[in-house]
Amino acid sequence: MKLQYHTAFSAVIAGILYMTFKSWGLAAACFISGIVIDLDHIIDVVREHGWSVKTKEFFRICHTAQFDRIFLLWHGWEWLVICAIAAWATEWNPWITGTLIGITFHMILDSYQNSLNLRTYSLIWRWKNDFVFDVVFPKLLPVKYKNHNRSSKLEK
Ligand SMILES: [Zn+2]
């Protein structure tokens, strides 16, 4: 999902949290984490396209899914479990709980938009599939190959 939608959605959820719980930490953590989680795309873009990619090109690569492999380090249900345990263990520290809420909504939106099944956003499942983009994101293949005459370097 595009950055502006995540920003808008995170702002709405953060606003609701603030109005409900009157906690700036909770709201700020939700807002920030719901956006910052997407910074892991930088790792994948640099790994596949090098350091010279400019901002506009960066977004084109992401929006047209120009990846042979995709790690998406921070996009994993496994992090939600760890974050939920941390929130519980700290008696719902507002910053950790806000982060949990922010990344949960982010992952639900990404999952709804980009994936045919929930496994796509499991780090362990992607790892089992060697992080091969075409295997883990089959729903995005029309986007990836539309107008691009791109063939995967992984094809033999
Ligand atoms: Zn995302």
**Position 152 in a domain:** no
Ligand 1 center–CA 136 separation, angstroms: 15
Ligand 1 center–CA 107 separation, angstroms: 6
Ligand 1 center–CA 1 separation, angstroms: 6
Backbone angles phi, psi at 17, to 5 degrees: -60, -45
**Position 101 in a domain:** yes
Ligand 1 center–CA 152 separation, angstroms: 22
- Structural domain range at position 85: 3-147
Ligand 1 center–CA 74 separation, angstroms: 8
Angle at 132 between CA 49 and CA 154, to 5 degrees: 70
Ligand 1 center–CA 94 separation, angstroms: 22
How many domains, the chain?
1
**Position 155 in a domain:** no
Q: What is the pTM of this model?
A: 0.90
Q: Over its length of 156 residues, how does the chain's per-residue pLDDT go in tens digits?
A: 889 999 999 999 999 999 999 999 999 999 999 999 999 999 999 999 999 999 999 999 999 999 999 999 999 999 999 999 999 999 999 999 999 999 999 999 999 999 888 999 999 999 999 999 999 999 999 999 987 666 666 654
**Position 156 in a domain:** no
**Position 103 in a domain:** yes
**Tokens standing for residue 154:** 């992984």
